[in-house]
Structure 1
């Protein structure tokens, strides 16, 4: 049952209860929605054809709660091959917790406003699928938390998904907590969303069983990075505090001797706050990865200087050496800089000013175990 008349976008009306025209099954004999009604204006309006009678809503159908009604309509939407979303609602003036009317509509209902939000909010560019579809279900409150279907419109102005394609509808895709944990754990060891999606496919037994698509994995991974970017300093502080309570250094009553990181300013602040001398212990020494800094030479100074001359060989002889004293390193650095006329290079001046944080001559007495010469892959094991 449903409304007998439906106003079309072309100004005409169609009879929803009339016999629909069927053009048969879809490709590969999949169950799909191929039944449609042709309006007087010549436009096709579709109806689900592979939904059992027990799953089709009807007017005056009663549900014990609003959530039960929504779940029923969502299951109907999944079987029918269209997406659903929650629409408008009307609350009781005397009791705002009571919802008198609730609309659940097709995901293609309405049209997107072309208001330029970019002036105020940075938004991701997406393609709208809304086409003004009028399919909906309206639940009305009848007392004692029960609701009944007041209005049911079951005609759609767009083609519906096949049995295979309905899994890709937005309302049928959900990044549940287990999938989010997989993406989060994989990101900590630099595994991208494409590889982790393949792993999830193997774990679930097929792409159709994962429940989401590869773009969903990429979207969540992008959101995860944007979330962590502004909070990485506090996350490091919290992690260090936990490790401080559990690690053997706390048991022996002392901090770790050295911590090696990249040049992230937030890391510098986090380490200073978490392992300071305020607790009565010896303050930790913060050092920088030499590998990170050495990778920047060609970026800051250019490939021609670094790859077509012996500049890097001469610099590495002083940078990598573990036997040079501090004064000999400083003399050698200045000689190389003078030879290649780089006295005015700001980046080299900055690196020289912070030489005590990354040149080996300044921490010959600390047991580094090769940590200063790590690669990008091995660094993921330390944090």
Structure 2
């Protein structure tokens, strides 16, 4: 770097040099035996390219050292190389179901883990970065997203917050949901039927209508619904 202009670049092999030996002090590193020993890929490769530039825009090769004597990455292992591991936007959207489950879905979809283009750890890391980015502003992001849709004529959106500033009720409806509501407007049709057949004073029907929110749970009381349950606990 000269006067704020980058004038030289070095590119070396990922296997250049050697891993420095780790010193061991039995008085300090008492639990070192429990640490996982990671293998190293560095083997002292001397392959490198040295680039120089006068303006920091155009670079020329000033020195090239071939010096590579180790085997290259095998074809079946190329998907493990960092430059080949990247989640696409479509794959990132699937992470919302959980990183491990999302990876298994992608593995099945693409016909093998080597075709996914990312590893299970990449999915976990993306989920972690996403959670750190959202932080405590998940409700605020939802409100901002739905507020931006108010420019459409048939979109409705209302919400409330409690005394602690927490999002409590939230309601939104677009054009399709409004049309669906009109097609299945139960309460209106119920009242029309009661009036048509002069049943407006029938106590049993009045009581049944008042407990209408319990109809579906009662109807499916004997049906196993465990498949609809979802938990993130381990």
State the TM-score, normalized to the length of structure 2. 0.50
State the TM-score, normalized to the length of structure 1. 0.33
